[in-house]
Amino acid sequence: MSERKTILQVKDLQTTFFTDSGEIPAVDHIDFHVKEGEILGIVGESGCGKSVTSLSIMGLIPQPPGKIVGGEIVFQENDLLKMTERQMRQIRGNDIAMIFQEPMTSLNPLFTIGNQMLEAILIHEKGWSKKKAKERAIEMLQLVGLPRAEEMLQDYPHQLSGGMRQRVMIAMALVCDPKVLIADEPTTALDVTIQAQILKLMRELNTRLNTAVLLITHDLGVVAETCERVIVMYAGQIIEESPAKQIFDDPQHPYTKGLIQSIPDMRFKKDRLYSIPGSVPKPGSIKQGCRFAARCEFAFDRCIKEDPELYETSDAHQTRCFLYDKEGAEMDDNKTLIESR
Amino acid sequence: MLSYIGKRLLQLIPVLLGMTFIVFMIIRAIPGNPAQIILGQQATKEAVEALTVKLGLDNPWYIQYFNYLGGILKGDLGESMKTRLPVADEIWPYLAATFELALFAIIIAVIVGINAGIISAWFQNSWFDYTAMILALIGVSMPIFWLGLMGQWMFALELDWLPVTGRDEVRTPVNSITNLYVLDTIMQGRFDQLGVVFKHLILPGLALATIPMAIIARMTRSSMLEVMRSDYIRTARAKGQKMFWVVYKHALKNAIIPVLTIIGLQMGMLLGGAILTETIFAWPGVGRYIYDAIGARDYPVIQSGILIVAFFFVMINLLVDLLYSLIDPRIKYD
């Protein structure tokens, strides 16, 4: 699966919010790419910049106060950030579609499912008749596993359950055959059984339609089940990138380790679940050094003085931690320390 | 739905009953004997007493009240003490005049107010937003009589574009059928006169529209600002929808309900007749009709006039409540 074309590339993206209490760099120089048909996970705690990243790609950052201050977002060889609003509208929903965290509020309560589905189709398929669009809507609703699709077109969102609404959202997002689907916490608001169904559905659709998926979540469990590759974000930066399997077998950044340790495991009964001490710093509050240093049990002098880069540790695995800086002097001692745990 | 309307109409009975009682008591608390006012200061004591008896004003208040109520239940609104004509017949032309003006004013207020509010919210903190909201603030705090007088001075006297007062030209009066002059002229195919009628509507209409327009604009803006932050607005934009439709389809329908409430209340108030505006523009409306009746202590006219106005006020608000359920499928009245 290695030689698939890159479809979306984010280069050195910086999105800053200009608020009364100062500039907040919510997304701070991040680089990543999504390949055709791939499922890439972005993981991180709330406030780490995951959602801002996805909204930046869609060009939907509320402006003001937000602004993309630097970088490139290359989609099929075009920089989205250089596009006009009119050009972006052609991309949104058509080439890059998005589903959101809150299925309860993401559909307009005052319009029928049919109205909203048809809208999504007819915005981009100008020549289509209403009948054709309706057939397409029904087809998509059936594809996402909604059995009485035709009647459902007459329903209002409040008549559906959360899981059904999220299925409708997915159907609506995929209705124009997008190349990339951005799913921002698509299962967070759903209960566990429905969560599993929705994830399964997304995996199926990914294989069937070959839509690349950018799955944003705070839940490593979701990543394990769904993604091929994963990016871990912390305080607006990417701190680790690796194939999904590797991140569980060999987590490198102390933050990632902490995240994995804090997943409850039924096999080992522990008295208390591990949690990373402290909380996520406000973006922009740490001006110098590693953002995680204050919460990191392996932090040493250099961590506070210098900004770590992403160090390549193995094929396709990168970590933003001095412990993996092969040129760094202290590495060996600490590496042993970290491995001895 | 029908049972809800039925219930609401039943609720109307105690409301209007209570209202008749309050109005009845209040007007009798105003000093002055109607018989004396009708006959004038020079009338003899005997004549005044005779008229008092004739008008039934010598009865105790509760007898008078129940006589009045009994009349209403039979559909009789009583007759004017001054003109001896049935109030129901007499009030209609005034009511129609007020209705026409109020409708004209509220249409202007709704069209301008809602759009100003939408655009202000859409381009929040832009120069348009600031200008519109400052104008709206001036609008709500503007004395209407002053605005009316300035309008007359500017557009009638100086520029001579519009007539100063009245509903039509004195020399070529509208041949009235329904007393709604716009309707009358259209029904008679007199489109030259329709223009004249509209010209007469503009100044009082604008004066009357100012406050509702300002309130509607501010209400729409704040309601829209809240809705524009909703998730479904983001969804609509993520579909690639044009901002215009995001605003006018997805946001407006969600934002309109509180605005409708305001529109209903304002329309109800305008139907009560705007005494100042009607006076300045010599508009023969229901506000002035009742006001004159108060001066003459014409009890039946005051009582029934206010009753009719209150009835329309309640009906408009019922209509607004029913509109909610048309707009929002989650609102069910059963």
Selected residue of B124, B223, B235 to mutate for chain A interface (largest A Cβ count, 10 A): B235
**ipTM (interface predicted TM):** 0.84
Find out if CATH 1.10.3720.10 is the number for domain B94-327: yes
Cis bond upstream, residue A64 (ω within 30):
yes
Distance between first and last Cα of chain A: 34
The region of weakest confidence among A23-27, A89-93, A187-191, A291-295 is A187-191
Query: What is the mean predicted confidence (pLDDT) over A228-240?
Result: 89
pLDDT at A291: 85
Confidence bin at A341 (pLDDT 50/70/90): very low
A110 lies within 8 A of chain B by CB: yes
User: Which of A110, A119, A173 faces B328 most closely, judged by CB atoms?
Assistant: A110
A232 close to A256: Cβ distance less than 8 angstroms: yes
- Enumerate helices (H) and strands (E) in chain A, giving the number of each: 13, 12
Question: Which among A94, A109, A169 has the least Cβ separation from residue B240?
Answer: A94
Biggest CA pair distance of chain B: 85
Q: Are A23 and A17 in contact (CB under 8 A)?
A: yes
Q: In what order do the strands lie in the sheet with A39-43?
A: A96-99, A180-184, A212-217, A39-43, A229-234, A237-243, A317-319, A311-314
Please tell me whether the peptide bond between A178 and the residue prior to it is cis, using omega within 30 degrees of 0.
no
pLDDT above 70 coverage of chain A, percent: 94
CA atoms within 13 A on the CB side of A26: 22
- State whether residue A79 is helix, strand or coil: strand
Is residue A109 within 8 angstroms of chain B, CB to CB? Answer: yes
- Alpha helix segments (H runs only) across A157-191: 162-174
Work out the average pLDDT over B303-309. 90
- CA dihedral A261→A266→A269→A271, nearest 10 degrees, is 60
State how far the Cα of A230 lies from the Cα of A240, in Å rounded to an integer.
8
Better-predicted residue by pLDDT, B202 or A290: B202
pLDDT digits (tens, 9 = 90+) for B108-130: 999 999 999 999 999 998 999 99
Overall average pLDDT of the B204-221 stretch:
94
Q: Does residue A268 surpass a pLDDT of 80? A: no
pLDDT(B281) > 60: yes
pLDDT category at A1 given cuts 50, 70, 90 is very low
DSSP state of A282: P
**Worst-scoring range by mean pLDDT, A24-33, A204-213, A272-281?**
A272-281
Grouping H, G, I as helix, E, B as strand and the rest as coil, residue A81 is helix
Mutate to test the interface with A, among B232, B257, B326 (most CBs of A within 10 A): B232
Mean pLDDT for A182-196 is: 83
CB contact under 8 A, A110 and B238: no
Is A60 within 8 Å of B239 when comparing Cβ atoms? no
The length of chain B is 334
Interface of A with B in 25-64 (CB under 8 A): 58, 60
- B214-257 pLDDT, tens per residue? 999 999 999 999 999 999 999 999 999 999 999 999 999 999 99
Query: Mean pLDDT: which of A25-39, A146-160, B110-124, B259-273 is highest?
Result: B110-124
Return the SS3 of A39: strand
Chain B nearest-CA distance from A122, in A, is 10
Q: Residues A79-101: what's their mean pLDDT?
A: 90
Q: Are B228 and B118 in contact (CB under 8 A)?
A: no
Q: Mutating which of A106, A118, A155, A159 best tests the B interface, going by the most B Cβ atoms within 10 A? A: A106
Extents of the domains making up chain B: 94-327
Q: Quick one: chain A helix, strand, coil %, rounded to 5?
A: 40, 25, 40
Cβ A19 vs Cβ A25: under 8 Å: no
Alpha helices in A162-219 (DSSP H): 162-174, 192-209
- Lowest mean pLDDT across A209-218, A326-335, B218-227, B271-280: A326-335
| Distance separating alpha carbons of residues B126 and B157, to the nearest angstrom | 37
Indicate the residue type of A36: E
Asked if A297 and A288 touch (Cβ cutoff 8 Å), the reply is: no
pLDDT for the residue B166? 86
> What pLDDT score was predicted for residue A120?
92
Query: What digits encode the pLDDT tens for the residues A118-148?
Result: 999 999 988 899 999 999 999 989 888 888 8
Cα gap B154→B30, rounded to integer Å: 40
Using one digit for the tens of pLDDT, what is the confidence trace for A18-27?
888 888 888 8
The token pair that represents B173 in the structure block: 């009066």
Q: Which two tokens stand for residue A190?
A: 């759903």
Q: Cα(A191)–Cα(A188) distance, rounded to whole angstroms?
A: 8
In whole angstroms, what is the distance from residue A99 CA to residue A59 CA? 14
* φ and ψ at residue B38, rounded to 5 degrees: -65, -45
* Cβ-contact A241, A32 below 8 angstroms: yes
Smallest CA-to-CA distance from A291 within A34, A44, A22 is with A44
Given a cut of 90, whether residue A302 has pLDDT beyond it is no
Residue written as token pair 């106005």: B309
What confidence score (pLDDT) does residue A116 get? 94
Residue with the larger pLDDT of the pair B18 and B177: B18
Q: How confident is the model at residue A285 (pLDDT cuts 50, 70, 90)?
A: confident
CA distance linking residue A24 with residue A280, whole number of Å: 14
- Of A234-243, A308-317, B245-254, the range with the lowest mean pLDDT is A308-317
* Spatial strand order in the sheet of A66-75: A22-35, A6-19, A66-75, A78-79
